[in-house]
Chain A
Amino acid sequence: MRSQVIRILVVLVALSGVVVVGRTFRETDPFHHVGFGAWQETAQDRFSAMARRYVPLRPHLRGLEAVGWLTSYDHEMGHRMMAQSMLAPTLVIDSEAPEIVIASFETNAELDACLLTRSFQVQRRFGEGVAILKRRAR
């Protein structure tokens, strides 16, 4: 009797492995991913989409120790974290005090509206509400 129970238990373990892994396999569809190219062009996840906004800024910030941060994403730490991750070793500081500031807005219109109230000029635009700003000379 006990040996039967043990056999059933072994089968249950194998079955749970097959079911859980099989279900996740079906949901993930690994073969769909074969042949993907560089993530900048092809990755569809939300983190890659977020990262693509900030990658083009890097060549323009090389050599700068720190830049500021101006955003409309008040409740979304993720954007500054992602900008920092893409732009390291330049520090992205949560402040408008530095000479050079990164602007990250949801739309270009929001960015333009914000610039009307700030003493910054656009040094370079990257679309989708992202730009490098420079403090206006007084």
Chain B
Amino acid sequence: MNIAWSLLAIAAAFVTGWFLLRILWPADQHHRDPAAFAVRICLALGLGQAVAAVHYLLWRAACSHVGLPYKLTDCLLVPIVAWLAAHLAQRMWPAERNESEEVAPLPSPPRLCVGILLIVTALVASAALCICLAQTCDKPLGEWDGWAIWNLKARFMFRGGADWTGMFSRHIWFSHPDYPLFIPASVARFWTYLQGETTVVPQLVSVAFATLVVGLLFASLAWLRGLVPACLGTLLLVSYEPFLVYGGAQMSDIPLSFYVLAAVVAVAIAGRLLVLSGVLIGCALIVKNEAQPILLALLVGLFVVPPSGGPRSRLVVPPSGGPRNRLKAVLRTLLGATPFLLVVAAQKLFFAGASYLVADQPSAGAFLHKIIDPARHRTIIEFLVTWNFGFHLWHPFWRIPLAIPLPDQPSLLLLLAIPIVCGLRPDPRDRPAGLTVLIAVALTFILYYAVFLVMPYDLRNLMESFPRVQLHFLPALIFAVLLLTANPAACSRDR
């Protein structure tokens, strides 16, 4: 019975996400494209899960008991309200069908090559999923942050009754009371349906988001650029080692990277979907505090290069240029993010207090001291260069003293090599979105650098977390680079 309730909860979240998506991304010609349909499914799953988590949080905050009324509201009322809203939106703003806007099929290389690449990609991605599952089976309580932060909060929510706010106590400062509550709420919600705690729930949530981020990257690139870039993007992501390590670690980095990628994909579809992009980056805000600089970077990116009209942006912000249109693009995104911003602001104002970034600084002057300390800059840059572009020696034959230098992170070097070799030749419809995302990622990188610089803890230890922090924007970066690069399949046929 409890399993049936849980399956119903998953279905209800998906249905809610699907109907909300119909409001923000009205059904149009793309529904015939299987890749676009897959993008829709990934976005609906993510959106529905975020709405369900917020609903659980609100219910917890409003009334401590989560019993049958909660389940009925969650599984029936919320999807029905979403359906009514979608129905109403369809009547008020009927979708314009324009067959001329059909996306032109991209040239493809000989079928056999693509087929082989697809099979290799499928095998590698499946193996990556197996690794994530194995990692999570190996550590059922998750990695350190998994049990010490996210699952701890989930236990407070599930077991706590009226005392669930104990999680914000200053006595357990190590669990970071100001951290957003998407992961704990998602886990506690399923525990509520199952009427018991099991480590299987956080394990599945973790692996599900790893699968979703791979699925969304593949589907969105297959839709916008073709199968070869989709395969390359997927291979580059899964061969970034921290992705395999943290895919089943029950931490929030990969869910965050999913919502960042989703927001970026929505920017690529552009137009009215900027509100959808805002909603999705809003979902990221309730996953992790790091989404705040990412939101800021995305808004700056949209202001610098606003999305222009084009076949994929039917309901457009008018063609680029003009501060008014730029501002409109920013405001639409901000409008979408507002409900989630309010949830985060409420948590920080009424429950959590100041972030450790500010609260743990010994003095106001400490900020300045850290910023101008050359040793801290050197530590960060050294780590970044060594991690991303370091080499190790590989000894293929143990009897023969032959050593071949191999890159530590081949995926990043190859990601740089692709635009250099293939050249930048984006579809004109995708150029603004690709540039927006590149600016946003570059700015995010700078903001992260600044945060690492002023963190009030031992910098060398902190930098150890950089490889997984890089995961926040890596799928979005892969997406943007492949969006702007000439399709390798078309290039190799042209010549």
User: Residues of A at under 8 Å CB distance from B?
Assistant: 1-3, 5-7, 9-10, 12-14, 16-22, 24-25, 28-30, 32-33, 36, 39, 43-45, 47-48, 51, 65-66, 77-78, 81-82, 84-85, 88-89, 91-94
Residues 155-174 of chain B, each 1 if its beta carbon lies under 8 Å from chain A, else 0: 11001110110110101101
Q: Are A2 and B141 in contact (CB under 8 A)?
A: no
Q: Are B172 and A84 in contact (CB under 8 A)?
A: yes
User: Residues of B at under 8 Å CB distance from A?
Assistant: 117, 120-121, 124, 127-128, 130-131, 133-135, 137-144, 147-148, 151-152, 155-156, 159-161, 163-164, 166-167, 169, 171-172, 174-175, 199, 228, 231-232, 235-236, 238-241, 244, 410-411, 414, 417-418, 421-422, 488, 491-495
Q: How far is the CB of B241 from chain A (nearest CB, A)?
A: 6
Closest A residue to B411 by CB, please name it.
A16
The answer, among B134, B169, B241, for a CB contact under 8 Å with A91, is B169
Q: How far is the CB of B238 from chain A (nearest CB, A)?
A: 6
The answer, among B127, B144, B492, B495, for a CB contact under 8 Å with A25, is B127
- Sample of 11 A–B contacts (CB below 8 Å): A13-B236, A21-B128, A24-B244, A30-B131, A33-B133, A48-B141, A81-B148, A88-B166, A88-B167, A89-B160, A91-B172
Closest B residue to A10 by CB, please name it.
B488
Main secondary structure of the interface of B (DSSP, over half): helix
Q: How distant is the Cα of A18 from the Cα of B123 in the complex, in angstroms?
A: 9
A21 in contact with B131 given A3-B491, A9-B414, A12-B414 (CB within 8 Å)? yes
Q: How distant is the Cα of A20 from the Cα of B418 in the complex, in angstroms?
A: 19
Closest B residue to A7 by CB, please name it.
B492
Q: Are B151 and A85 in contact (CB under 8 A)?
A: yes
Q: Are B171 and A93 in contact (CB under 8 A)?
A: yes
Q: How far is the CB of A28 from chain B (nearest CB, A)?
A: 5
Name, among B121, B160, B235, B417, the residue most crowded by chain A CB atoms within 10 Å (CB to CB). Answer: B235
Chain A residue numbers with a CB within 8 Å of B174 are 77, 81
Q: Are B495 and A45 in contact (CB under 8 A)?
A: no
Chain B residue numbers with a CB within 8 Å of A9 are 414, 417-418, 421-422, 488
Q: Are A20 and B134 in contact (CB under 8 A)?
A: no
Q: How far is the CB of B254 from chain A (nearest CB, A)?
A: 16
A21 in contact with B491 given A36-B137, A47-B147, A85-B152 (CB within 8 Å)? no
Q: Are B241 and A82 in contact (CB under 8 A)?
A: no
Q: How distant is the Cα of A14 from the Cα of B172 in the complex, in angstroms?
A: 46
Q: How distant is the Cα of A74 from the Cα of B9 in the complex, in angstroms?
A: 44
